[in-house]
Structure 1
Amino acid sequence: MRVGLLGAGRIGASHARFLGGHPQVDTLLIGDADVRRAAALAGPIGARAGDPETVLAAGLDAVVIATPTSTHAELLVRACDAGVPVFCEKPVAPDLRTTLEVRDRAAKTGVPVHVGFQRRFDAGYSAARQAVLDGRIGALHRVHLVTADPAPPPAEYVRSSGGIFRDCHIHDFDILRWVTGREVDSVTAVGANRGDAYFSAAGDVDTSAAVLVMDDGTLATLQGSRYNGAGYDVRMELSGTAGTWVVGLDERAPLRSAEPGVDWPPGDPWTDFQERFEPAYANEIGTFLEMARGRTGSPCTIDDALEAFLVAEAATLSLREGRRVPLAEIR
């Protein structure tokens, strides 16, 4: 396959490693507005480099979009109009109106689009989803989600991120839908600023919590932080009438028991999301290439991404206005 990768930043570099060594990829072309950065990434893995325009015009079999959020919509539409299967990092667009426009435009072309939510390709989340489907959890009554970063992103990133619910917790909203098979009915969100002033200056928070009511009455709670000094903490707890399953409760979970004589977990805590989800990212890219070859459908469509975005919009509105927000209001 002849694959184009647009974006040579942190997540683009991660995708480049997997694409450059994948047996189905004969030629990898890396495009970035900073051609020198693209060349620095391409050289060690034997890829070719150029600007995004050059890459898009190179007769691709597939394209991976890992550029800044503000460019996603235009690049995704251009790839679809050219008939090239697309992998696009979340979000599809920075706002709801543009997301809907891109969804409709892509649907008219019939080109398959895969939106990047890597947790769907993680072994733990996949096992939890299967446990729900198989009935091993029983009737699901409650879910708890945690996403906590060990250190905050830089101020310039926060200013353009869209806020913690759109930028960070959108992964929780997507995986909540995917694992449980249910939709969110309403959201009540709160937040606080406990660290650097640039979060509040950007209208954002660095500490978050929410209660989500699912369409079947299941209650889900959510917690998040940009200052989790113990390490990178991402977990999902699902409790039902037959058992409780926990994703992320492994030997590197950044947790310590207060009980005497208990020294588990013994490993060094995860340092960041890329280390924690490295196998998931590899699985995600492999699945995208299978989709591009026509061997499978999209594992995460624009409609899926839209549903997670709607929950993030509801949470953001709830935080701003201090009230419960039904998803029907956002729709």
Structure 2
Amino acid sequence: MRIGILGLGRIGAFHAETLAGLDAVESLIVSDPAAGRARAAADRFGALVADSPEALLAAGVDGLVVAAATDAHPALIRAGVAAGVPVFCEKPVARTMAEGMEVLKAVAGRDVPVQIGFNRRFDAGFGAARAAVRAGALGPLHTVRSTTLDPAPPPAAYVAASGGIFRDCSVHDFDMIRWVTGREVMEVYASGGNRGAAYIRDHGDADTAGALLTLDDGTLAVVSNSRYNGRGHDVRMELLGFADSLAVGLDDRLPLRSAEPGVTFPAGVPHDFFLDRFAAAYRAELTAFTEVVAGSRPSPCTVEDALAAGWIAEACTLSLREHRPVPVAEVRRA
């Protein structure tokens, strides 16, 4: 199959490399507003270059990968669906939830699958945790702890366009809480602080944040996020049940030291970047997309799935601003 890639920045170039190594992918065609980036990718992977999204779609592709700037996501998703081409789009669906809902309306009822890029759904540890919860191996859950800690903050320009830590970072935790537990979030209470770069505070954002979520069966989920985790990139989930407990990310590359005498775990080099931590998950995610393109599986992360996590982020953003609990139903629109 031929796959088109729109956007050849950091994640787009990474996806191009991954796709070029998949057996199901026979060729790539790429496009980026920065012609040099498209040409560099084409030279590296033997891809063709299109000078616009329209030209790329007109050239004929079996599947479309959207890794362009967030503002471009809605139009590019619509263009792919209108052309009858299955679309993979990096999260988020759109900059705002209102725009995301418009995308949902545009693709609803169309026989063209759209997959949104929440890569943790393809991580082996998270998958095993989901299977254990769904099999009842932990008994009823009472507490979930989900953590995403970055080693350093993103640049000021990225923060300015990100929508805030809950929409940009915590949303992965929110998606995993829903996906692993099979439950919905009913209410949130969020807090945050700033002890780092002034530009994060200046954009009305927090560099460290936490949220307490109440799920629809009464389970409590605690989410912890920071732009400053000096030891490395720390992504974990702990699932505590009445019968057993289970952790994701508890391996030798965990960026955490033990204070207990004689304890040598974790013994490996800490993860230092999300592309390092989730390299295998990204490959599995794009392999799944080739199966979506081939028609052998439905989308494993739909626009509706992505927006469900987005509404939790919206509720947390409001909670942080107004210092109060916020029911997700208060912000969610049909």
Normalised TM-score (structure 1) = 0.99
Residue matched to 1:212: 213
TM-superposition CA deviations, 1:102-161 (whole Å, max 9, x none): 001011432100000000000000000000011111111100011000011000000000
Give me the whole-angstrom Cα distance separating, in 2, the residues matched to 1:17 and 1:264.
Answer: 33
**Once the 2 structures are TM-superposed, how far is the Cα of residue 50 of structure 1 from its aligned partner?**
2.9
Amino acid of the structure 2 residue aligned with 1:181: G
AA aligned opposite 1:157:
Y
User: What is aligned with 1:196?
Assistant: 197
Name segments (4+ residues, structure 1) moved above 4 Å.
Answer: none
Residue type of the partner of 1:109? Answer: R
Equivalent residues in 2 for 1:268-283, closer than 5 Å: 268-283=269-284
Q: Which secondary structure state, in structure 2, belongs to the residue aligned with residue 169 of structure 1?
A: helix
* Correspondence for 1:27: 27
Residue in structure 2 matched with residue 13 of structure 1 by the alignment: 13
* Secondary structure at the counterpart of residue 109 of structure 1: coil
The answer to whether the 8 A contact 1:147-1:224 is kept is: yes
Q: Which amino acid is 1:40 matched to?
A: A
Q: Residues 34 and 51 of structure 1 are in contact (CA less than 8 Å); yes or no, is this contact kept in structure 2?
A: no
C-alpha distance in 1, partners of 2:240/2:52?
A: 46
| Amino acid in structure 2 at the alignment position of 1:226 | R
- Within 2, Cα distance between the matches of 1:56 and 1:202? 37
Alpha-carbon separation, structure 2, partners of 1:162 and 1:230? 26
Other-structure match for 2:42: 42
Matched, 1:253 2:254: yes
Match of 1:265 in 2: 266
Is the 1:166–1:312 Cα contact (8 Å) retained in structure 2? yes
Partners of 2:156 and 2:241 in 1: CA distance: 41
The match for 1:225 is 226
Matched to 2:153, the amino acid is: P
Query: How many Å separate the matches in 2 of 1:233 and 1:96?
Result: 28
Superposed displacement of residue 13, structure 1:
1.1
1:92-241 to 2 correspondences below 5 Å = 92-241=93-242
Unmatched 5+ residue regions in structure 1? none
Which one-letter code corresponds to 1:129 in the other structure?
R
How far the C-alpha of 1:14 sits from its partner, in A, is: 1.1
**Post-superposition shift, 1:262?**
0.6
CA contact (8 A) 1:65 1:72 kept: yes
Distance 1:172 1:214 in 2: 14
Give the aligned partner of residue 78 of structure 2: 77
2: CA distance between counterparts of 1:201 and 1:45?
41
* CA RMSD, 1 decimal: 0.8
